[in-house]
C-alpha cells in the first residue's frame, strides 16, 4: 500500500503498479504550483511522461539591480528561505540544462493511476506492525510518528510558501532570478516558457509582485494572473540527522513502513531523488523478505 497521492506518492505508484494508494484528501487537489524543473530524466523515464530539456539561465536581483554572488546576498537569501545562514544554490549562477514537466503533470499522474486511489481515507499508522505487507508512506514524518506512537525529542519546523503564476504574452524563455533582500517576501521568480512563477515566504503584496515583473523586464499589460496557492509544507527545517535516520529505521523495522519523499523523510530532496530512493526501498524489501524466509525456515 502507498500512503499519499501527492507527487511523491504518484511517482511511487508507477514503481509499484499494483499497489493501492490511500489519500486523506477527498479528491485531486493540485497544490503543486511551485517550479517543477528536474535535473535528470529519471522521473520522466519512470512515469512515461515526456519532459522537455531546456537551457536555464540564472541571476540575483538585489537593491534594484543585478549583482554577482557574494556573502551578503547568499546569507540574506539563506535566512529568507531556511531561516539560518548556510550555503545555498544562489552561489552558482552557471547556465544549466534542466528538464521541464508539462503543466498538467500532476493531472496526468492522477489519470494514470487514479483507479487505484482510495480518496478520503486517512491512514491509521497505529495498526501497522512488522509482518504485514510493506507500506510506502509519503505522509509527513511527524504525523506518521505520532500515529505509530513513537516518541521523540525532535521539533519538526516548517513554514508555508505562497506561489503565484502568470501567463506572459509572446514569451518562451527559461530563467530564474533570486531575491535575497529582506524588504520583500519574494525569494524566487522563474520563467518557464510563457509561465512566470513567483514564490514568496509570506503572503505577497502588490509591491512584491511588481519587483518580479520589473526584474524580468516585463510589462503589466502582457501578464495574465493565473492564481495564487499556499503550500503548507513549502519549507522544512532540517533536524538532527542521526536521530532522524534512527526514527526512519524504527518505522521500517518495527512497523514495516518505508518512508519516501521530502516530507516523509524530512530532508530537502528533489523529486529526482525519489526515483533513486524507490530503488533503495525495493532492495530493503527484498532483503527483509529474505530474512523473514530464513526465520520461518
How many structural domains does the chain have?
A: 2
The CATH number that applies at residue 23 is: 3.40.50.720
The CATH number that applies at residue 174 is: 3.30.9
Is residue 84 located within the same domain as residue 138?
no
Mean confidence (pLDDT) of the chain? 89
pLDDT digit string (tens) for 144-172? 999 999 999 998 988 788 999 999 999 99
Last residue of a domain, one of 193, 220, 236: 236
Alpha helices by DSSP H, listed for the chain, are 7-15, 42-47, 71-82, 105-113, 141-148, 206-215, 241-255, 262-265, 271-296
Residue 249 predicted with pLDDT over 90 = yes
pLDDT digit string (tens) for 276-292? 999 999 998 887 654 54
The reported pLDDT for the residue numbered 32 is 59
The strand pair at 96-100 and 2-3 is best described as: unpaired
Q: What is the pTM of this model?
A: 0.87
Burial profile 134-163: b = 16 or more Cβ within 10 angstroms, e = fewer:
bbbbbbbbbbbbebbeeebeeebeebebbb
Could you tell me the residue range of the domain that residue 149 belongs to?
Answer: 1-33+102-154+237-297
Residue 203 predicted with pLDDT over 90 = no
The reported pLDDT for the residue numbered 160 is 84
Half-sphere exposure of 268 (CA within 13 A, CB side): 12
Residue 270 predicted with pLDDT over 90 = no
CA 215, CA 188: separation in Å to the nearest integer?
Answer: 11
Amino acid at each position: 500500500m502507498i500512503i499519499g497521492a501527492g507527487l511523491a506518492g504518484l511517482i511511487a505508484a508507477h514503481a509499484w503498479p499494483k499497489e493501492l494508494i490511500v489519500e486523506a484528501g477527498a479528491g485531486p487537489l493540485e497544490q503543486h504550483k511551485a517550479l517543477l524543473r528536474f535535473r535528470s530524466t529519471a522521473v520522466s523515464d519512470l512515469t512515461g511522461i515526456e519532459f522537455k530539456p531546456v537551457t536555464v539561465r540564472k541571476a540575483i536581483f538585489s537593491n534594484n539591480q543585478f549583482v554577482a554572488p557574494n556573502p551578503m546576498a547568499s546569507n540574506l537569501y539563506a535566512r529568507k528561505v531556511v531561516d539560518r545562514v548556510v550555503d545555498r544554490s544562489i552561489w552558482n549562477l552557471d547556465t544549466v540544462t534542466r528538464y521541464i514537466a508539462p503543466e498538467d503533470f500532476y493531472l496526468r499522474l492522477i489519470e494514470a493511476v487514479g483507479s487505484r486511489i482510495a480518496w478520503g481515507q486517512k491512514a491509521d499508522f497505529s495498526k501497522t506492525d512488522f509482518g504485514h505487507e510493506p507500506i510506502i508512506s509519503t505522509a509527513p514524518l511527524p504525523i506518521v510518528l505520532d500515529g505509530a506512537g513513537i516518541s521523540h525529542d525532535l521539533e519538526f519546523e516548517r513554514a508555508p510558501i505562497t506561489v503565484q503564476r502568470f501567463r506572459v504574452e509572446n514569451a518562451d524563455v527559461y530563467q530564474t532570478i533570486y531575491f535575497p533582500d529582506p524588504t520583500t517576501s519574494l525569494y524566487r521568480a522563474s520563467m518557464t516558457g510563457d509561465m512566470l512563477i513567483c514564490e514568496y515566504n509570506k503572503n505577497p503584496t502588490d509591491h512584491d509582485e511588481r519587483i518580479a515583473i520589473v526584474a524580468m523586464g516585463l510589462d503589466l499589460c502582457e501578464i495574465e494572473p493565473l492564481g495564487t496557492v499556499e503550500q503548507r509544507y513549502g519549507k522544512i527545517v532540517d533536524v538532527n540527522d542521526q536521530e532522524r535516520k534512527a526514527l526512519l529505521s524504527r518505522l521500517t523495522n518495527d512497523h514495516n513502513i518505508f518512508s519516501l519523499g521530502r516530507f516523509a523523510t524530512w530532508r530537502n530532496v528533489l523529486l529526482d531523488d525519489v526515483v533513486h530512493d524507490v530503488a533503495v526501498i525495493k532492495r530493503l524489501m527484498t532483503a527483509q523478505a529474505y530474512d523473514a524466509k530464513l526465520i520461518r525456515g
